[in-house]
Amino acid sequence: MHSQYLDISPEVSNALAAGQPVVALESTIISHGLPWPVNMETAHAVAQLIREAGAIPATTALINGRMKAGLSTAEIEALSRNGQQTCKASRRDLPWLIATGGSGSTTVASTMIIAALAGIRLFATGGIGGVHRGAQQTFDISADLQELARTPVAVVCSGPKIILDLSLTLEYLETYGVTVIGYGTDRLPAFYLRESAFNVDCRRDNPESVAAILQARWSLGLDGGLLVANPVDESLALATDDAEQIMSQAMQEMIDAGVSGKAITPWLLTRLHEISGGETLTTNIGLIKSNARLAAEIAQAFCELSETR
């Protein structure tokens, strides 16, 4: 059911009405994940890749108190230019931003909410949030995990961000019944790394078999979404030792700087880009594009499967 606070662009609305595949995109990547003007260039490139794969892109955001599924070129440029000055809006922020006519870029959690309200089943992003390192003391756990447990949208990503505690993140997902599918891999990808030490729940090697799992879950009436973990291309992946070295340095600098809360992820990703001499930025852009293309292919397969049922 559509919300009274939701605006769906004509292109996205027409595609949904016609039963065509649509892929949701978050806007925190644009505002907080990438620097200007790379962020705007990447946003347009990702949208084009989705169209070339046969689907319609639906970038989400909060603009003047309205949830948006499908942004204009001008709206994407404004988010890109404003960058980290833009409010980072998760589930908890939607009510007050809507009530006050505020604006914000959407996280994984809020993108899933908007996608579900619009009737969009597939969502592509870079990496999800999860249980942060040291969460036993800080209780710092991303709202992304609870959203995956409750909202019926499949998230295609390159696994949890490398800054997280991967073991505890997987334990959390298991506890709340979120299926983790490895696309072409038996191991959980870790954002900049093609694989970690942890296994996924199941492996699938083509979009059609992933779509069948989505169809089965939702046909059973099970709550929540699924995680499709797509490893970054081998040519762009970081070596494990290099990743751990720059991660350790960035984490210590973050502690020394007293960074906390929702500022942690954008601060760390920016610092990782700096320490690596831009290598992680190139990897980040590459994995976002790969995930968008795969999400479009799965969305296409899911639509075709739904037509036969």
pLDDT in tens, 210-238: 999 999 999 999 999 999 999 999 999 98
- How does residue 269 score in pLDDT terms, banded at 50, 70 and 90? confident
Tokens of 181: 């599918």
**What is the pLDDT at residue 309?**
62
Q: Choose the catalytic residue: 68, 77, 147, 161.
A: 161
> Of 189, 68, 174, which Cα lies nearest the Cα of 128?
189
Contact 132, 164 (CB under 8 A): yes
> What are the backbone dihedrals phi and psi of residue 201, each rounded to the nearest 5 degrees, phi first?
-70, -40
* Element of type H or E holding 269: helix 264-275
Active site residue 68: no
> Taking all residues of the chain, what is their mean pLDDT, rounded to a whole number?
94
Residues forming a β-bridge with 23: 57, 122
**Per-residue pLDDT, 308:** 67
Residue partners of 106: CB distance under 8 A and separation at least 6: 26, 27, 28, 60, 61, 62, 89, 114
pLDDT in tens, 145-184: 999 999 999 999 999 988 899 999 999 999 999 999 999 9
Q: Is the pLDDT at 202 greater than 60, yes or no?
A: yes
Residue 77 phi, psi dihedral angles, 5° rounding: -65, -40
The string over 99-109, giving b where at least 16 C-beta atoms fall within 10 Å of a residue's C-beta and e elsewhere, is: eeebbbbbbbb
pLDDT over 80 (residue 81): yes
DSSP 65: T
End-to-end, the C-alpha distance of the chain in Å comes to 21
pTM for the full predicted model: 0.93
pLDDT > 90: percent of the chain: 78
Q: Which of 26, 147, 195, 297 is catalytic?
A: 26
Q: What is the mean pLDDT of residues 72-91?
A: 96
Q: Give the residue extent of every domain in the chain.
A: 6-308
Confidence band (pLDDT; 50, 70, 90) for 265?
A: confident
Superfamily of domain 6-308: Indigoidine synthase domain (3.40.1790.10)
